[in-house]
């Protein structure tokens, strides 16, 4: 091989390695990366040291049977139901602001292996549609969907987001729901402000294995 060709190959190789290095640096600093299937995966907001200290005193809901835990702020109204192999855990958060049209601020957590469809039990799956995005929480990829349309009525409505993942034969769903009165005379609530507590709790969810 001619010396010139060898030098050219070495230069191309060096440029390629350097490009990979910068891509890796961008990946580490970003909260978005691209998976092998070319789908963007959004990462739960990383916790800095101050946030970790803040959550250190939060109570922990841990379920050894289903192998997961999540933290929640003190003062949260917690209820739990485990019926026929289906776990339901509900966290009722306090409102960030009063005298708004908000009437519900809830994190619902479901674990199930089957669902009843037209009287027949079938394996549960995560719902997928054109709007589904991928979201990573502590190393686990969830399907994220807007499920606001499932809630509300003539007088009430809600903004709601679902995070779903299937592990072996179990499906885990985390739903954050902000319910409000459609025709209230009170000012509209601040969705971003009211969602902060959910983002914080979501970042503490992890599987025990």
The label of the residue with tokens 């549960």 reads 124
Whether the predicted pLDDT of 29 surpasses 50:
no
In a domain, 36, yes or no: no
Whether the predicted pLDDT of 22 surpasses 60:
no
Whether the predicted pLDDT of 3 surpasses 80:
no
Across 8-12, 33-37, 53-57, 131-135, the highest mean pLDDT is recorded for 131-135
Same-domain pairing of 13 and 66: no
Same-domain pairing of 140 and 57: yes
In a domain, 61, yes or no: yes
Same-domain pairing of 116 and 193: yes
Same-domain pairing of 203 and 100: yes
CATH no. for residue 172? Answer: 2.60.120.1690
Tokens of 133: 């995005």
Same-domain pairing of 143 and 173: yes
List, in sequence order, every beta strand (DSSP E) within the chain: 32-34, 40-43, 60-63, 68-71, 77-83, 86-92, 102-112, 114-117, 120-123, 133-137, 140-146, 156-167, 170-181, 206-207
In a domain, 48, yes or no: yes
In a domain, 158, yes or no: yes
Q: What percent of the chain has pLDDT over 70?
A: 77
At 82-103, the pLDDT tens digits run 887 789 999 999 999 989 999 9
Same-domain pairing of 70 and 126: yes
**Mean per-residue pLDDT over the chain, rounded:** 83
Give the pTM: 0.74
Q: Tell me the residue range of the domain where 146 lies.
A: 41-207
Q: How far apart are CA 167 and CA 193, in angstroms?
A: 32
At 169-205, the pLDDT tens digits run 899 999 999 999 999 999 999 999 999 999 999 999 9
Q: Which residues contact 168 (CB under 8 A, 6 or more apart)?
A: none
């Amino acid at each position: 091989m001619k010396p010139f060709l060898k030098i050219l190959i070495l230069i191309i190789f060096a440029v390629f390695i350097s490009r990979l290095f910068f891509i890796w640096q961008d990946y580490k600093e970003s909260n978005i990366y691209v998976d092998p299937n070319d789908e963007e995966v959004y990462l739960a907001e990383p916790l800095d040291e101050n946030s970790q200290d803040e959550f250190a005193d939060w109570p922990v809901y841990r379920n050894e049977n289903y192998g997961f835990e999540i933290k929640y702020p003190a003062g949260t109204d917690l209820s739990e139901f485990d019926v026929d192999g289906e776990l339901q855990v509900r966290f009722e958060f306090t409102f960030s602001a009063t005298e708004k049209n908000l009437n519900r601020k809830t994190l619902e957590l479901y674990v199930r292996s089957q669902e009843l469809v037209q009287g027949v039990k079938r394996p549960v799956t995560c719902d997928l549609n054109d709007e589904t995005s991928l979201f990573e929480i502590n190393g686990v990829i969830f399907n994220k969907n807007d499920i606001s349309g499932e809630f509300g009525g003539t007088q009430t409505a809600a903004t709601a987001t679902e995070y779903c993942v299937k592990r072996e034969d179990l499906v885990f769903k985390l739903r954050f729901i902000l319910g409000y009165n459609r025709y209230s005379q009170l000012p509209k609530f601040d969705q971003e402000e009211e969602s902060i507590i959910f983002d914080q709790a979501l970042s503490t969810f992890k599987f025990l294995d």
